[in-house]
Amino acid sequence: MYASVGDRIVIRGHHIGEPTRDCEILEVRNSDGGPPFVVRWGDSGREALFFPGPDATIEHFEHIVN
Amino acid sequence: MRIVEALRRSGVAVGPDRTIRDAAMIMEQSGVGSLAVIENDQLVGIVTDRDLVRRGVAMDIPSDARIDSVMSTPVITVDADGDLHDTFALFRTHAVRRLAVVRGEQFVGMITIDDLVIDLAADLVDLSRPITAEVLFAHRNSAPLATR
């Protein structure tokens, strides 16, 4: 699973009623673009290190370089 | 089955200097019941929601205390590429509900008893299918042997 800074990770709910969660990738720790990722959780702005499992998908965004 | 193939949830980690309040918020937001505690790329501890209650709240530890004040250490780990059945003995021996999964020195995720029970339940359903069929439906009679 590869990602870039600014991509979004979506974690599906594991049971009925559990919300889908998402976070933004702030830093990619591996030089090849693989995990772990430093992420920021949407609501609280808190950061953590994220190791994606089968419940996570990455939404890639087009990165515009100025 | 390899252990890494049985993981159901993503792993989430924090540094040891994060506060108990931070850890609780991250657990809530990420939907996990435990966090790995990682310092300089090394797994140094594990903290569960139960730790926050029993070692934090119940002991009057302030919520702005460091998370390493309530974490469990040393961490019981299993190799990501190991056989899933190897985890059974570890759960039995150590009386824990979660094991940290590592590849080399790197944290990969958490395997929980819940993950194993779900897999076992699915296996049991598959195994019980032919037995159920045999109980519910009459045995098939063999065709009589041909005689001259």
Structure tokens at B35: 């966090």
- Residue spans of the domains in chain B: they are 3-136
From the list B8, B9, B13, the residue facing A48 with the nearest CB is B13
CA distance B99 to B11: 11
What is B71-105 written as a DSSP string?
-B-SPPEEETTSBTTHHHHHHHHHT-SEEEEEETT
Total structural domains in chain A?
1
Residue A18 scores a pLDDT above 70: yes
Determine, yes or no, domain membership for A66: no
Question: Which residues of A fall within a CB distance of 8 Å from B109?
Answer: 51, 53
- CA angle centred on B86, ends B83 and B92, rounded to 5°: 155
Residue A64 lies in a domain: no
Distance (Å, rounded) from C-alpha B10 to C-alpha A39?
13
Does the pTM surpass 0.95? The reply is no
Best mutation site among B29, B38, B117 for testing chain A: the one with the most A CBs within 10 Å?
B29
Tell me whether B25 touches chain A (CB under 8 Å). Answer: yes
Residue B57 predicted with pLDDT over 80: yes
- Would A38 be classed as within a structural domain? yes
SS3 B53: helix
The residue that leads in pLDDT, B70 or B31, is: B70
This model of the complex carries an ipTM of 0.86
pLDDT of residue A65: 64
Assess if residue A50 is contained within a domain: yes
Q: Which structural domain, as residue segments, surrounds residue A19?
A: 8-59
Q: Is residue A35 part of a domain?
A: yes
Residues from chain B that touch A21, judged by Cβ atoms under 8 A, are 29-31
pLDDT tens, B90-145?
A: 999 998 899 999 999 899 999 999 888 888 888 888 888 888 888 887 666 667 77
What pLDDT was estimated at residue A19? 79
Judge whether residue A42 has pLDDT over 80. Answer: no
| CATH hierarchy code of domain B3-136 | 3.10.580.10
The C-alpha of B123 sits at a distance from chain A's nearest C-alpha, in angstroms, of: 20
**Is A36 within the bounds of a domain?**
yes
- Chain B residue with minimum CA distance to A21: B30
